[in-house]
Chains A and B, each alone.
Chain A
Amino acid sequence: DARVTQTPRHKVTEMGQEVTMRCQPILGHNTVFWYRQTMMQGLELLAYFRNRAPLDDSGMPKDRFSAEMPDATLATLKIQPSEPRDSAVYFCASGLYLRHTNEKLFFGSGTQLSVL
């Protein structure tokens, strides 16, 4: 079965360090989302891409977060410098979205980030 692959699965780092999370979307999907999940805030949309172009990153703290899709097989989410409040599970999801269709969204297993 096709799946969205996220690495690393777990990351523990110290405050101030750079963190890079990677996502390999399902081949052929044209839309990639980055979500952050915490107990307090639930699922928050950080950014999303259509055909590798960023469409909305309004949910992302611009001063320290950046999201890119260098090619169709890789999406990255970087935090620099990381802070303890960034501790969360970060999910990548991909889908093939066409207008007026109800396509399924596929999620990766997430990266659990702990910033000490």
Chain B
Amino acid sequence: AQTVTQSQPEMSVQEAETVTLSCTYDTSESDYYLFWYKQPPSRQMILVIRQEAYKQQNATENRFSVNFQKAAKSFSLKISDSQLGDAAMYFCAYRSAESEMDSNYQLIWGAGTKLIIKP
């Protein structure tokens, strides 16, 4: 079974600085998707960035980028120029892409990292 591990329960960063959140996963599959979701105090889960495992190029979305290391099964999120609005819980998630079985559309979630932005 696949697992997702976020080893940092909490991280803090000074406003305008760069922070990296760690995520590792375990899978025997070669085709899958990886995601980072943000959950601010408003509770709503918001997709930050996603990566297809078959793509070697790291995904980027404005100030958010990932470092995807497939061999190491690592998927870290880098937030550049941190802003107060980035304060939230960040969840890493995995979804299989290999099987035709509908059940593989489920997401496997990490435990989350709480990001604190210091003004």
Q: Which residues of A contact B (CB under 8 A)?
A: 31, 33, 42-43, 45, 48, 50, 55-56, 89, 91, 93, 95, 97, 99-100, 102, 104-105, 107-110, 112
Q: How far is the CA of A105 from the CA of B109 in the complex (A)?
A: 13
Cross-interface CB contact of B106 among A42, A45, A91, A100, cutoff 8 Å: A45
Inter-chain contact B33/A102, CB cutoff 8 Å: yes
Q: How far is the CA of A42 from the CA of B85 in the complex (A)?
A: 23
Closest to A45 in B: B106
With A31-B105, A100-B97 as given contacts, are A42 and B111 in contact (CB-CB < 8 Å)?
A: yes
| Interface residues of A, dominant DSSP | strand
Cross-interface CB contact of B109 among A43, A89, A95, A100, cutoff 8 Å: A43
Task: Verify if B91 is at the interface (C-beta below 8 Å from A).
Answer: yes
Min CB distance A29 to B, Å, is: 12
Min CB distance A86 to B, Å, is: 17
Residues in A with CB closer than 8 Å to B107 are 45, 105
Closest to B103 in A: A56
Residues in B with CB closer than 8 Å to A105 are 47, 107
With A102-B33, A102-B52 as given contacts, are A89 and B43 in contact (CB-CB < 8 Å)?
A: yes
Inter-chain contact B112/A42, CB cutoff 8 Å: yes
Inter-chain contact A99/B42, CB cutoff 8 Å: no
Inter-chain contact A110/B33, CB cutoff 8 Å: no
Closest to A51 in B: B102
Min CB distance A67 to B, Å, is: 15
Inter-chain contact B102/A107, CB cutoff 8 Å: no
B 37-76 to A, binary, CB cutoff 8 A, 1 in contact else 0:
0000011111100101000000000000000000000000
Cross-interface CB contact of B42 among A31, A55, A104, A109, cutoff 8 Å: A109
**Most chain A CB atoms below 10 A, which of B43, B47, B106, B112:** B43
Residues in B with CB closer than 8 Å to A107 are 44-46
Inter-chain contact B43/A99, CB cutoff 8 Å: no
Inter-chain contact A55/B109, CB cutoff 8 Å: no
Inter-chain contact A102/B97, CB cutoff 8 Å: yes
Residues in A with CB closer than 8 Å to B95 are 102
Residues in A with CB closer than 8 Å to B44 are 107-110
